[in-house]
Amino acid sequence: MTASAPQLVVHDDAVRANTAGFVARSGGHLMAVLKADGFGHGSIARSVVSAGATSIGVTTIDEALAVRAAGTDVPVLSWLNPLDADFETALLADVDIAVSGVELLGAVSRAAVRTRRRARVHLHVDLGMARDGAAPSTWASLCAAARELQLTGTIRIVGVMGHMSCADQPEDPQNTRERLLFTNAVRTARRRGLTGFTTHLAATAATVTGVGAGHDLHRIGAGLFGIDPSGTATDLEPTLSLTAPVVGTREIGAGTGVGYGLDHVAARPTNLALLPLGYGDGLPRAASERAEVTVRGRRRPLVGRFSMDMVVIDTGEDRLHLGETVTLFGRGHDGEPTVSDWARWSDTIAHEIVTRIGTRVARVHRTTTTQEAPVA
């Protein structure tokens, strides 16, 4: 098999299968979280909607506009924006906005006046991470301010959201505290006169472990891409393969150093092959001297420090051909490394591996159509 350039193959069929599984786990109300370029998968909104996602969540307004531009017409929520974000463009594109403070609420409301669009707003409460979301002490006044603006007709509160800090550890008592805090926050919102909103708490881990159950909507990101932070879901499919062509080969003698610093020294005569991608393309440099690839059906080690634009494989007795395809990670069906292996080799989480593959690597979407019967 040969290839002309590094490729990140996106297995759309696997994303759809994972999505359908989470639609079932979410009682049919699944917000697909496609932040960070769809967890590095590129244009994937139509696939997740075709598999049953009923809305889409992203971080920035630009990401929301990209989802709209892809031709999806389900609700799209953007949940983290600076005060001077382009809320007018967002409202004109029917993008919902999450708000965690009165200043932002005011900015959205003013954009609504200018565009003559009623803004659809989700209120976000912090449950303990001290990160995004309104601090619990400010929640009641945020709800009151939202109620006043709602009465003027500029905004409508359509959702209340929270995010859990420890859902990947279902036994952690913090989960109970956060669930209670969220229930109380919802009650406070109702007491301040807000009604008719959906509530959403659980992301992937809280959905898989059940600690975030009991609300209207589940916001699922990682799980759609085969990643379960709790390590308990057994039915998730890896969704990416990273391949690269061999662009150089050489035979070296024992004692030959490889790469910057000559850290790696060949113990015996061997063959090397050069791949045209490196840490500048998202291969974690921390995985140097640990990571493996597959070629000709065999695992081979990457040797020497990773460079920005290239890495080197020790192929032992095999002298590869120029253009031969090497798999850096894949679905794991044929013994190749997976994204999880790369996360382990670089002491990080799978999320970081999938979101860091650079723009020099082409995304190729692959759809397995053989299971889809033609419509008669």
Q: By CB under 6 A, name the binding residues for ligand PLP.
A: 33, 35, 79, 163, 203-205, 219-223, 229
- For the beta carbon of residue 304, count every other beta carbon within 10 angstroms: 23
Closer residue to ligand PLP in complex, CB, 223/238 = 223
Alpha carbon distance 183, 3 (integer Å)? 53
* Smallest gap from residue 176 Cβ to ligand PLP (A): 19
Closer residue to ligand PLP in complex, CB, 77/313 = 77
Q: Which residues contact 248 (CB under 8 A, 6 or more apart)?
A: 273, 274, 322
* Smallest gap from residue 215 Cβ to ligand PLP (A): 12
Alpha carbon distance 34, 219 (integer Å)? 10
Closer residue to ligand PLP in complex, CB, 68/163 = 163
* Smallest gap from residue 106 Cβ to ligand PLP (A): 22
Does 139 participate in catalysis according to the annotation? no
CA–CA–CA angle 34, 40, 44 (5° rounding): 50
What strands, in cross-sheet order, belong to the sheet with 298-303? 248-252, 270-275, 311-316, 298-303, 292-295, 325-329, 240-245, 7-11, 362-366
Catalytic residue, chosen from 35, 124, 218, 305, is 35
* Smallest gap from residue 34 Cβ to ligand PLP (A): 10
Closer residue to ligand PLP in complex, CB, 3/129 = 129
* Smallest gap from residue 163 Cβ to ligand PLP (A): 4
Catalytic residue, chosen from 5, 27, 260, 321, is 260
Nearest to 30 by CA among 42, 41, 40, 45: 45
Residue nearest to ligand PLP (CB): 221
Contact indicator for 176, 164 with CB cutoff of 8 Å = no
Nearest to 225 by CA among 233, 237, 242, 234: 237
Does 260 participate in catalysis according to the annotation? yes
Closer residue to ligand PLP in complex, CB, 65/161 = 161
Query: Which DSSP state fits 260?
Result: G
Nearest to 192 by CA among 162, 154, 150: 150
How large is the angle between the packed helices 174-191 and 136-152, nearest 10 degrees? 30
Catalytic residues: 35, 260
